[in-house]
Amino acid sequence: MKGQVFAITLVVVSGVATFIMFISTIDSLSLTRNRFYRDYRFADVFVNLKRAPESLKEKIQNVPGVHQVETRVSAYVKLDIKGFSEPVTARIISVPDDGKPLLNRLYIKKGRLADPAKDNEVVVNENFALAHGFDPGDRFAAIIHGKWKELTITGIALSPEFVLIMRPEAMSPDFKHYGILWMGRKALSKAYDMDGAFNNAVLTLYPDAKLSDVLAQLDTIVEQYGGYGTYARKDQISHRLLSGEFQQLQTSSEIFPTIFICVAAFLLNVVMSRTINTQREQIAALKAFGYNNLDIGIHYAKLVVLIISPGLIGGIVAGIWFGKMLGGIYMEVYRFPQLIYTLHPGVIVAAVLISIASALVGTLHSLWRAAKQPPAEAMRPEPPAQYRVTLIEKTGIGRMLTQPSRIIARNIERKPIRTFLSIIGIAVACATMISSGFFKDAVAFMVNVQFVLSQKEDMKVAFTEPTSRRALYELKELPGVHHAETFRTVPARFKFGSRSYKTAINGIEPESRLHLLLDTDLNAISLPPSGIVLNDYLGKFLGVRAGDLLTVEVLEGSKPVRQVPVVALVKLYLGVMGYMDVTALNRLMREGDAVSGAYLVTDPLYSGKLYRNFINMPRVSGTVLRRNEIRNFHDVQAKGMLFFTFIATLMACSIAFGVVYNSARIALSERSRELSSLRVLGYTRGEISYILLGELGLITLIAIPLGFLIGYWLCAYIAQALASDLFRVPLVIETKTYALAAAVVLASASVSGLIVRHKLDHLDLVEVLKTRE
């Protein structure tokens, strides 16, 4: 039973380890986050406006439910970093002159806060500093309100507001090309002509405040000051991404340990029923001596606990180890002062209890059989196994079967439930592998759709203010620009029926070569001259279909409210947006030929020169390089993916090995007599291996396609569970993912097959003939 216990141990280790890993990671990250939020006073509500006098603060403060208010000055700036020729942008935020923000306080990791009076000192966020190798004392330049300014880094900081930093509209965090800078309020106000004014406010609410009321009132208050976005913490990007990650962990923590626990219970059931079968006589003897059913039951329950104990211990140790590892991986992207690793004793107790309970449930049937046998009956050898001619044979194929194949068929059919569960077990291992490959495939597919099929520009240039379309000709004149197209982005709220969603309308050129809209089959569709195109997720969310009239509330300029027909729904995996013909959008805005920026196709040789140009163009607020975006997306995903793939492969191997090995060992112990008899009759080692391993091979081969199917469902479930307005994971599974899953399962099955084959080669032919089974 040594090998089988080992196989069960593997599965229990995997189950307990993943359970503890996920739960402890969720707990640790939650605790770390909550502590950070609490100690560094993370705001509840965020307000953005164009410019408001400081006196508005009091009005905001007086909104019922508002606890604390802090006003800030915030802006997006271009950076000019020596030795780094790619476009870098940053968000610069003011820090109160006393250096003590009321809300969203800074955790200074290195150095000190910037001197509030000095307009050349900043604190930078840690990931940005790490990406560029910055230390306090280092310098770089920024274009602040159109002026090139050399800045000295005084400190490196973390903020609860920027646990995860992502440029607006970006697909993934990009620490090299986007950073957060904190500067003294006085200096920053001066630079932006914001003396006695602010353009950003953060606030906390009293616990009993009604959020929607507060938001509505704030919207009204800031409206005349160019308010363009009041949102709650749940919509704050860093918080949202973090919550999304927790959600993902939660989903994983529910799916994977459950799979393991079921597999472990099944394996224990098989092993225990076999053990009890072979110990019938001892059980009978014990009962004859006066042991009662409870004693016998407890004896075997103890055995079950003993069998899973090494797995429990190993699982707890591995779980803590994996949990710390996973926490560490998160910490590279999500920045907290430090990870507070927690493992509640309750989690261990739960892991132990769940494992033991499921193991006992799994073996209950066998235990019950052991306990209820009258001693006299148990003393007698078990009645010979009953076999039937199988259904397959009745179809006429039977005549073509050799006797060994017939043995396989009848054995499979005789224990249909066990066979079925073995198949399911192996299939689940296969599905686990597929689900890990799925993330890679889906991300690759998203990148391809987003950056190859849909957004074909090399560079995206954004203007500080809506600008005349004439700017396009200026851009086209620049050396290295092959092609340019304008776009107009307008923040807006869409309303349909009782539902509403705040996002933006992207106005693009009608015959755009660079920004293609794709229908649900990923074919490019041409943008109609009027009306709006929504992406499918938004369409579903709002309940609109093509032909419906959508209410559009523009959140910029004169804030017009219009009824716009929805012309089509398009596929978009990232973000949520509406698309319009740029001239139609201009019309809707009742503005001239205003544009917000341009998409460019550029000559790579001129890239460096172009960035320099854009840095020096005051109207250009930022530049995004598509190549960087793609590369970065892969970089950020890669590490996490690698870990998950590693864990999933480990899990899949342990399940596949556990199930196949156990089936093989049980089959061997049940049939060694039969196989020895065949050896005596002159069958070769290969021929008897065929009977045993052929059955396992057949089970494995049936399990693999079923595993593909379960894997597909599992991925569909995961994709659905993860879908949000930030991104939708496409249900794309590449052939090579299926192939790898099948290969891993086959390899694990082969390893257990080889071990059993080794045992088959050493059957004691003489021993088996002396005994009656």
Partner 1 sequence: MIGKEGEPNNSGEVVFRVRDLTKIYAMGEVEVHALRGVNLELYSGELVVLLGPSGSGKSTLLNILGGLDTATGGDVTYRGKTLTNADERELTEYRRYHVGFVFQFYNLIPSLTARENVAVVTEIAQNPMTPEEALQLVGLTERLDHFPAQLSGGEQQRVAIARAISKNPEVLLCDEPTGALDSKTGIVVLEALDRINRELGTATAIITHNADIAGMADRVIHLSNGRITEIKANAVKKSPGELQW
Instruction: Give the footprint of partner 1 on this chain (CB under 8 A).
Output: 383-387, 389, 402-404, 406-407, 410-411, 414, 673-674, 676-685, 687, 765-766, 768-773
Helix/strand/coil (H/E/C) assignment for every residue in 191-233: HCCCCCEEEEEEEEECCCCCHHHHHHHHHHHHHCCCCCCEEEH
Quote the CA–CA distance of 33 and 25 in Å, as a whole number.
12
* Smallest separation, CB 636 to partner 1 (Å): 57
Alpha helices, DSSP H, located in 62-116: none
Question: Beta-strand (E) ranges in 380-480?
Answer: 459-468
**% helix / strand / coil in the chain, to the nearest 5?**
55, 20, 25
Quick one: 312 exposed, middle or buried, by C-beta within 10 A (0-12, 13-18, 19+)?
buried
Three-class secondary structure of residue 54 per DSSP:
coil
* Smallest separation, CB 694 to partner 1 (Å): 14
* Smallest separation, CB 768 to partner 1 (Å): 8
Query: Quick one: DSSP state of residue 655?
Result: H
* Smallest separation, CB 371 to partner 1 (Å): 26
Q: Tokens 């015959």 identify what position? A: 511
526 within 8 A of 568, measured Cβ to Cβ: no
295 within 8 A of 457, measured Cβ to Cβ: no
For partner 1, which is the closer residue by CB, 219 or 674?
A: 674
491 within 8 A of 521, measured Cβ to Cβ: no
Alpha helices, DSSP H, located in 581-625: 582-588, 607-616
Extract the tokens encoding 26: 């969720």
For partner 1, which is the closer residue by CB, 410 or 587?
A: 410
Three-class secondary structure of residue 671 per DSSP:
helix
For partner 1, which is the closer residue by CB, 389 or 561?
A: 389
For partner 1, which is the closer residue by CB, 224 or 403?
A: 403
Q: Find, among 552, 29, 118, 557, the residue nearest to 334 by Cα.
A: 29
* Smallest separation, CB 270 to partner 1 (Å): 19
* Smallest separation, CB 449 to partner 1 (Å): 54
Going by DSSP bridges, is the β-strand pair 594-602/459-468 parallel, antiparallel, or unpaired?
antiparallel
Strand order in the sheet with 45-53: 66-72, 197-205, 45-53, 230-232
Other Cβ atoms closer than 10 A to 408: 23
Other Cβ atoms closer than 10 A to 706: 16
* Smallest separation, CB 412 to partner 1 (Å): 10
Quote the CA–CA distance of 696 and 221 in Å, as a whole number.
72
Q: Find, among 53, 50, 102, 41, the residue nearest to 75 by Cα.
A: 50
Residue 495 backbone dihedrals phi, psi, to 5 degrees: -130, 135
For partner 1, which is the closer residue by CB, 82 or 762?
A: 762
For partner 1, which is the closer residue by CB, 324 or 679?
A: 679
For partner 1, which is the closer residue by CB, 285 or 401?
A: 401
Torsion sign over Cα 310, 315, 321, 324: negative
Q: In which region does residue 575 sit, left (phi positive, over 0), alpha (psi from -120 to 50) or beta (all else)?
A: left
* Smallest separation, CB 366 to partner 1 (Å): 21
* Smallest separation, CB 321 to partner 1 (Å): 43
For partner 1, which is the closer residue by CB, 62 or 684?
A: 684
The β-bridge partners of 70 are: 202
Quote the CA–CA distance of 693 and 754 in Å, as a whole number.
9
For partner 1, which is the closer residue by CB, 381 or 608?
A: 381
For partner 1, which is the closer residue by CB, 369 or 685?
A: 685
Quote the CA–CA distance of 139 and 110 in Å, as a whole number.
15
Other Cβ atoms closer than 10 A to 303: 19
For partner 1, which is the closer residue by CB, 168 or 381?
A: 381
Quote the CA–CA distance of 609 and 114 in Å, as a whole number.
32
For partner 1, which is the closer residue by CB, 344 or 388?
A: 388
Helix/strand/coil (H/E/C) assignment for every residue in 101-159: CCCCCCEEEEECCCCCCCCCEEEEEHHHHHHHCCCCCCEEEEEECCEEEEEEEEEEEEC
For partner 1, which is the closer residue by CB, 470 or 772?
A: 772
* Smallest separation, CB 274 to partner 1 (Å): 16
Quote the CA–CA distance of 33 and 336 in Å, as a whole number.
7
For partner 1, which is the closer residue by CB, 86 or 674?
A: 674
* Smallest separation, CB 272 to partner 1 (Å): 23
* Smallest separation, CB 288 to partner 1 (Å): 25
For partner 1, which is the closer residue by CB, 218 or 675?
A: 675
Other Cβ atoms closer than 10 A to 512: 21
* Smallest separation, CB 383 to partner 1 (Å): 7
* Smallest separation, CB 756 to partner 1 (Å): 19
For partner 1, which is the closer residue by CB, 401 or 726?
A: 401
* Smallest separation, CB 763 to partner 1 (Å): 11
633 within 8 A of 171, measured Cβ to Cβ: yes
* Smallest separation, CB 677 to partner 1 (Å): 4
